[in-house]
Amino acid sequence: MDKKVAKTKKSIINAFLELRSKKALEKITVRELCEKAEINKSTFYTHFKDIYDLSEYLETQLVDQVVCSLQHPEYLFSKPEVFIRELTYAYIVQENLIHTLFSGSRANMLLIRIEESLKKIIFSLRPDYKNSMTANVLFTLSIYGGFYAFEHCRSFGEDSVIDVLAEINQKIMKILQ
């Protein structure tokens, strides 16, 4: 990608993130975004189909960053305490962007996309877990439960909550053994 194209795309993304931090996705118009990014509408449409396409692009990038930051996603079942620590710290690192992109009507999409992405990795390594109801329930419980428990209890101290989550995750994953 040449420098001018990269600069334009970065301008579009920055303008979108600024607007998105203040407004619901459904309230952002291409016209408004183009004014903020100081580009023509045709330039926007060269890069993205619409506002939702742009949002989807950024959401995918963010989910990929979170998942790629996990050194050992396969530890979910073998070393669940390590897995939940890595995942929670990945959320913390991306917290501002998570709250910007996955708010309002998009709030539930973060965990859906994280779960889908991690399932691809883990089930490719452990295909025997793919059709296991127990493995799938424990997987979903770790992803969703860990995230929401951390978010709702972090006032007790982030490291303390992560320690409790790690201990709980370790205990519940013993069900598979």
Asked if 88 and 162 count as a contact pair (C-beta separation under 8 A), the reply is yes
What does each of the 177 residues of the chain score in pLDDT, given as a tens digit? 688 888 999 999 999 999 999 999 999 999 999 999 999 999 999 999 999 999 999 999 999 999 999 999 889 888 999 999 999 999 999 999 999 999 999 999 999 999 999 999 999 999 999 999 999 999 999 999 999 999 999 999 999 999 999 999 999 888 877
The H or E element containing residue 134 is helix 133-140
> CA dist 114 to 50, 109, 131, 144, Å?
24, 8, 19, 10
Q: What's the predicted TM-score (pTM) here?
A: 0.91
Tokens of 31: 């016209």
- d(CA 38, CA 120) in angstroms, rounded, equals 39
